[in-house]
Structures are given as structure tokens and as C-alpha cells.
Amino acid sequence: MAEEKLNWNTLKKRSIDGIGGLVLAITQDYKTGEVLMTAFMNQEAFEKTLETGKVHYYSTSRNKIWLKGESSGNFQKVKELFVDCDMDALLLKIEQKGGACHEGYRSCFYRKNSKGVLKTIGEKLFNPNEVYKK
């Protein structure tokens, strides 16, 4: 089998809410396996993530590249990177400093469904109002 390469050109890009040229990224704690968050990357975010070893995303709400942790200090250090069968989604096993979620939790998936009602099961690690000074 021919050697398969991973770079921006070999990825399949998607359009999210009308913004083209994005791939999905899922981050997972490299030790515990906890899924921490999901967001999108554009070319610059993808390439900066590989170059620096720190996860960068593209914010579809703010329309800009974003180094995760730039405001909070809660950087994500890449340990391993996987790509899915369709070449349109990345799985990054990372070392997460502090909490990944802008609401102050370790994981963005801090609420569990219980028959249509959401129960908060995550522990709050920081106060977003103190960390993200508006």
C-alpha cells in the first residue's frame, strides 16, 4: 500500500455554517481518555498546531484563529494525533492544563442527559468571570 500522508492538502475540508475550509477536531485527555471538547480548524490552525505542539482552533462564532489557552492559560499540548477514515476529522490526544471548557469545567461535556433533563456531573475548576476578563 502506498504511504499515506497527512497534511492540509490530504484532508477533506467541510463548510460549517457557511464557513468553508474546515476540519473537525476532537480533543481527548491522553491519560484518562476523557473527551474534553470539539471545535474546528482551518489551515492556519491545523498547521500552527503541528508546528507548535499546542492546539489552535478556528472559531466559527468569532471568525478567527484561536490558540486554546491564550486567555485562560489552559493550553492543550499535543501528545498524539489521529485522523479518521474519511480524512475530515482529527482526534488529538492531549495534555490539558486546567479546564478545557470556557464555563470552568474540565470537559465541555459536563452535563449528562437524564430522561430529557441535564444533570451537571463535571466539577467546576475555575470561575470564568475571573479568568476571562471582559
Binding site for its own copies (CB under 8 A): 3-7, 14-18, 24, 26, 28, 32-35, 37-38, 80-86, 89, 91, 101-103, 105, 108-113, 116-118
C-alpha–C-alpha distance, residues 66 and 108, integer Å: 17
Q: How far is the CB of 45 from its own copies (least distance, A)?
A: 15
C-alpha–C-alpha distance, residues 100 and 45, integer Å: 17
Residue 130 CA to its chain's centroid (Å): 22
Place of cell 491519560: 31
Give 78's strand partners: 94
Question: 17 or 130: whose CB is closer to its own copies?
Answer: 17
Q: How far is the CB of 95 from its own copies (least distance, A)?
A: 16
Q: How far is the CB of 97 from its own copies (least distance, A)?
A: 18
Residue 58 CA to its chain's centroid (Å): 9
Q: How far is the CB of 56 from its own copies (least distance, A)?
A: 16
Question: 38 or 97: whose CB is closer to its own copies?
Answer: 38
Question: 50 or 70: whose CB is closer to its own copies?
Answer: 50
Q: How far is the CB of 67 from its own copies (least distance, A)?
A: 19
C-alpha distances out from residue 51 to 44, 48, 54, 82, 88, Å: 10, 5, 8, 16, 20
Question: 7 or 71: whose CB is closer to its own copies?
Answer: 7
Question: 65 or 81: whose CB is closer to its own copies?
Answer: 81
User: 37 — phi, psi (to 5°)?
Assistant: -165, 170
